Amino acid sequence: MQSNLSIIILAAGKGTRMKSSIPKVLHKMSGKEMLYYSIEEAKKLSNDIHVVLYHQAELVQSSMEKYFQDIQYHIQDHEKYPGTGGAVMGITPKNEKVLVLNGDMPLIEAEELKQLTQDDNTHQAQNQKLTMSVLNLDCADGYGRVIIEKGKVTKIIEQKDCSSYELDIVTANAGIYCFDTKFLLESLPKLSNDNAQSEYYITDLVEIAVDSDLSIKPVVVKEENFKGVNSKFDLANAEVIHQNRIKTNFLKAGITMKLPDTIYIEHGVLIEGETILENGVTLLGNSKISNSIIKTNSIVEDSILENSDIGPMARIRPLSILKDTHIGNFVEVKKSKLTGVKAGHLAYLGDSCIDEGTNVGAGTITCNYDGINKHKTIIGKNVFIGSDTQLVAPVTIEDNAMIAAGSTITNDVKSGDLALSRTKQKTIAGFFHKFFKQSKN
Ligand code: UD1
Ligand code: CA
């Protein structure tokens, strides 16, 4: 936290190139909206955070309020003051310095931003009222070009305003700036919209600073982290980079992964202990996995796994808690608490609570939904549930009970009892031969 720093995040843009009715900054990367990441990183640096909105402002604000309190939202006067310069007009940051971030740069990290925000105690710093992020590229297509004369930044020219000579410049404006707040507030009224897009450009503040004999400090940043997301193509590429970061952290912490490129882990998932993730595993939401083995192509969403193994091809849906449990292939678990349970194959266990030592046979289904409401299935300790059982909830099976294979259980079963509900088998001797002989005639 830097006590002299305020932050403004620009998120008013529509995001036309996303070709979507959802505002750009609400598109998700690793399970969270792009703007979520900008705010999360900003909060590590400052407690005075302003977010500028315009397009679908209410939706963007309410989406962020699910995660963050104490953020100030501003609606840009987009009709009169369009553009990145217009976006910061009318905001009064309370601290001495203000960092301006873009809501469509979900890969920036607080640690890296410190290069722009931390105090510079050199002599020449006195005259510096603006620090800007710069990219050295092979081709700066799509970016504003940074004009450097005699080693000093003098101007930023937007691509649409560039001459053919200026288009060849490969030093690009990464779009993140740290201003002296007083300089920013005094200079904004001097911006004009006399340019190709008839917008108020924040980038023109560079020229205004130079005209007042102030120097600009350029900080060269890594392209990968400062990439703006403007299209679905950019979003997909950003997510690959983000996924690699998430997985690298877990690998370094001692988690085993087979073919990590095929594994998808959302931001917010916790993994610890001796955990193995096989190829194709998907871990979503706020799942917490400890000392467990997740086999090929299994999905875990918003659930807790402890000392358990699941899959291949198991699906653990939200609000499940599995401890010391074995879940085999094609088993779906939802909102259930399983402790010391074995469910080896092909089952649906929803809204249930199953206790230690219980074996759930293949094809077992908790019939939890009556078309209107969901009901609970409670199964005690050391219960043996034969294959192809339907447990029509609400229903309770007490400890040490047995259910015969193929049963439909509609009544509670007491401890020690066997429940069986199937029609008695009838066998007709020689029927096969009689039947096919008749058909041929
Ligand atoms: C901007 C810079 C460009 C830089 C590039 C880096 C300007 C004029 N240009 O261009 O020099 O190379 O970023 O990625 O600043 N926004 C608003 N209100 C507006 C317009 C934009 O809040 O009226 C927000 C957008 O939501 C976005 C950010 O500002 O988060 C940047 O806007 P965008 O239109 O993407 O700017 P670029 O054309 O990429
Ligand atoms: Ca952009």
Query: What share of the chain in percent tops pLDDT 90?
Result: 93
User: For strand 359-360 and strand 215-220, is the pairing parallel, antiparallel, or unpaired?
Assistant: unpaired
In the structure, what pLDDT confidence band is assigned to residue 1 with cuts at 50, 70 and 90?
confident
- CATH second-level architecture of 232-419? 3 Solenoid (2.160)
Residue 162 token pair: 């560039």
Q: What is the tens place of the pLDDT at every residue in 117-151?
A: 987 777 667 788 999 999 999 999 989 999 998 88
> 392: CA distance to ligand 1 center in Å?
57
> 52: CA distance to ligand 2 center in Å?
15
> 104: CA distance to ligand 2 center in Å?
7
Q: Whose CA is closest to 302, among 281, 316, 322, 323?
A: 316
User: For strand 152-157 and strand 145-149, is the pairing parallel, antiparallel, or unpaired?
Assistant: antiparallel
The yes/no answer on whether domain 5-220 falls in CATH 3.40.50.300 is no
In the structure, what pLDDT confidence band is assigned to residue 90 with cuts at 50, 70 and 90?
very high
Closest ligand to 24 CA?
A: 1
Residue 118, pLDDT score? 87
Separation between Cα atoms, residue 385 and residue 392, nearest integer Å:
14
With 0-12 / 13-18 / 19 or more C-beta atoms within 10 angstroms meaning exposed / middle / buried, residue 398 is middle
pTM of this prediction? 0.93
Residue 441, pLDDT score? 65
Residue 126, pLDDT score? 74
Nearest CA to ligand 1 atom 8: 201
96 or 125: which carries more pLDDT confidence?
Answer: 96
Q: What is the tens place of the pLDDT at every residue in 69-83?
A: 999 999 999 999 999
Ligand 1 site-directed mutation target among 76, 102, 226, most atoms within 8 Å of CB: 102
Q: What is the tens place of the pLDDT at every residue in 189-221?
A: 999 999 999 999 999 999 999 999 998 999 999
Answer yes or no: is the C-beta of 134 below 6 A from any ligand 1 atom: no
Domains 5-220 and 232-419 equal at CATH topology level:
no
Catalytic residues: 345
Which atom in ligand 1 lies closest to the alpha carbon of residue 173? 12
126 or 280: which carries more pLDDT confidence?
Answer: 280
Q: Where are the domains of the chain?
A: 5-220, 232-419
Answer yes or no: is the C-beta of 38 below 6 A from any ligand 1 atom: no
Name residue 230's amino acid. N
